[in-house]
């Protein structure tokens, strides 16, 4: 009998799905209607779980999978997996470390330029025929220059560094915060987030949300100030969304570029209505190139774990 793989999220690369199906009995959990009953009946036979970074897997579900040998996360965020519990069980939890760095950094820069230059609002202005109705140059407000902006990067991991590298090419001075100053990083470390916001023209969130929740609150946003921008390509819950809505509505910051939200796919109406916000749908890693590389890593992790080896990207074993 083939090993049993429980897949909690689709993989969008056909070749990877074909390979999975040729090697394993794959159960697509997201297509099962009575999931609780299915787990009771089949949970004990599951050898491997494949999940998404945002989806993770709950402790309650892990407890229903006693024969599990690996949780392969198709992403880098492991905040939705109970890592302490997996360590106790000596269960490898793997992530696609490094596979999505470039694309996430690209989108961070794209969102910041889009927010500064009102790209999406002006696109709507042209698309809706408004330009023809209001051809006078003053019909649209002047935008904000991106080049040379002081960038405050929150989380100087792989993605943070890739954002800094790109922004440096636009002559942006870089500051950062993290749990501690990071050796070998050539940018100025600012331990306090409010202070970082005060010294930045834009805050770019690249941190993992394992320990940090609601850290970007009203105090941070007010320190960023009415000419400041916020970009989030990490996790929605790093931001206190109610505070963000309140500060944005009051003109307390200039705008935002957001790929992630607290309760995806639900995005607060106030953000959807705000012309100064550029929205994405958790798309930072969603390119063919990155998703193919991620799928390869997931397949490799599952194969290694089922062969009794320690998966190369295990975070827990
Ligand atoms: C993916 C992510 O959208 O890496 C992560 O943690 O959230 C994203 O890159 C997701 O994991 C795809 O399943």
Which domains does the chain possess?
4-98+289-306 (3.40.50.720), 101-279 (3.40.50.720)
Q: Which atom of ligand 1 is nearest to the CA of 284?
A: 9
Taking CA atoms only, the protein residue closest to ligand 1 atom 12 is 52
Task: Tell me the two tokens of residue 187.
Answer: 């940018």
For ligand 1, say whether the CB of 290 is within 6 Å of any of its atoms: no
Quote the pLDDT of residue 211: 78
Q: Please tell me the distance from the alpha carbon of residue 203 to that of residue 215, in angstroms, as a whole number.
A: 12
Q: What is the pTM of this model?
A: 0.96
Distance 106 CA to ligand 1 centre (A): 15
Instruction: Count other C-beta atoms under 10 Å from residue 89's C-beta.
Output: 15
Quote the pLDDT of residue 212: 84
Q: Please tell me the distance from the alpha carbon of residue 109 to that of residue 257, in angstroms, as a whole number.
A: 9
292: left (phi over 0), alpha (psi -120 to 50) or beta: alpha
For ligand 1, say whether the CB of 278 is within 6 Å of any of its atoms: no
pLDDT along the chain (317 residues), means of 10: 97 98 98 97 98 96 98 97 97 98 98 98 97 97 97 98 98 97 97 98 95 94 98 98 98 98 97 96 98 98 98 98
One DSSP character per residue, 224-292 reads H-TT-EEEE-S-GGGB-HHHHHHHHHTTSSSEEEES--TBTTB--HHHHH-TTEEE--S-TT-SHHHHH
Contact yes or no for 111/259 (Cβ under 8 A): yes
Q: Please tell me the distance from the alpha carbon of residue 177 to that of residue 190, in angstroms, as a whole number.
A: 5
Contact yes or no for 48/68 (Cβ under 8 A): yes
Annotated active-site residue 42? The verdict is: no
Annotated active-site residue 235? The verdict is: yes
Which of 144, 158, 235, 291 is the catalytic position? 235
Quote the pLDDT of residue 210: 85
Taking CA atoms only, the protein residue closest to ligand 1 atom 13 is 52
For ligand 1, say whether the CB of 56 is within 6 Å of any of its atoms: no
Quote the pLDDT of residue 47: 98
Q: Please tell me the distance from the alpha carbon of residue 143 to that of residue 219, in angstroms, as a whole number.
A: 25
Instruction: Count other C-beta atoms under 10 Å from residue 59's C-beta.
Output: 11
Pocket test for ligand 1, best of 53, 73, 238, 260 (most atoms within 8 A of CB): 53
Quote the pLDDT of residue 206: 98
Distance 24 CA to ligand 1 centre (A): 23
Task: Tell me the two tokens of residue 171.
Answer: 């002559």
Pocket test for ligand 1, best of 265, 282, 284, 285 (most atoms within 8 A of CB): 285
Structure letter (DSSP) for residue 137: G
Annotated active-site residue 241? The verdict is: no
Which of 41, 264, 289, 309 is the catalytic position? 264
209: left (phi over 0), alpha (psi -120 to 50) or beta: alpha
């Amino acid at each position: 009998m083939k090993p049993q793989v429980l897949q909690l999220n689709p993989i969008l690369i056909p070749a990877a799905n074909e390979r999975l199906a040729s090697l394993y009995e794959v159960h697509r959990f997201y297509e099962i209607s009575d999931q609780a009953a299915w787990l009771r009946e089949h949970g004990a036979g599951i050898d491997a779980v494949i999940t998404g970074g945002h989806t993770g897997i709950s402790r309650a579900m892990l407890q229903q999978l006693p024969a599990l040998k690996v949780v392969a996360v198709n992403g880098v965020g492991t905040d939705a997996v109970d890592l302490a519990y997996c360590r106790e069980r000596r269960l490898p939890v793997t992530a696609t470390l490094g596979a999505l760095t470039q694309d996430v950094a690209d989108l961070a820069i794209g969102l910041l330029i889009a927010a500064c230059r009102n790209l999406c609002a002006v696109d709507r202005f042209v698309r809706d025929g408004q330009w023809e109705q209001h051809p006078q140059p003053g019909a649209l407000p002047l935008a904000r220059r991106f080049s040379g902006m002081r960038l405050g990067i929150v989380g100087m991991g792989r993605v943070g560094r890739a954002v800094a590298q790109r922004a440096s090419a636009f002559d942006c001075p870089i500051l950062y915060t993290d749990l501690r100053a990071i050796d070998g990083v050539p940018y100025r470390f600012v331990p306090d987030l409010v202070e970082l916001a005060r010294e930045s023209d834009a805050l770019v969130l690249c941190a993992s949300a394992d320990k940090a929740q609601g850290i970007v609150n009203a105090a941070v946003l007010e320190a960023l100030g009415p000419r400041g921008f916020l970009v989030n390509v990490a996790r929605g819950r790093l931001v206190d969304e109610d505070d963000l809505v309140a500060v944005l509505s009051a003109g307390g910051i200039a705008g935002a570029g957001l790929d992630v939200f607290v309760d995806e796919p639900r995005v607060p109406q106030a953000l959807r209505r705000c012309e100064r916000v550029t929205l994405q749908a958790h798309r930072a890693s969603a390119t063919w190139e990155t998703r193919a590389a991620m799928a390869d890593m997931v397949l490799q992790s599952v194969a290694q774990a089922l062969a009794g080896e320690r998966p190369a990207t295990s975070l827990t074993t």
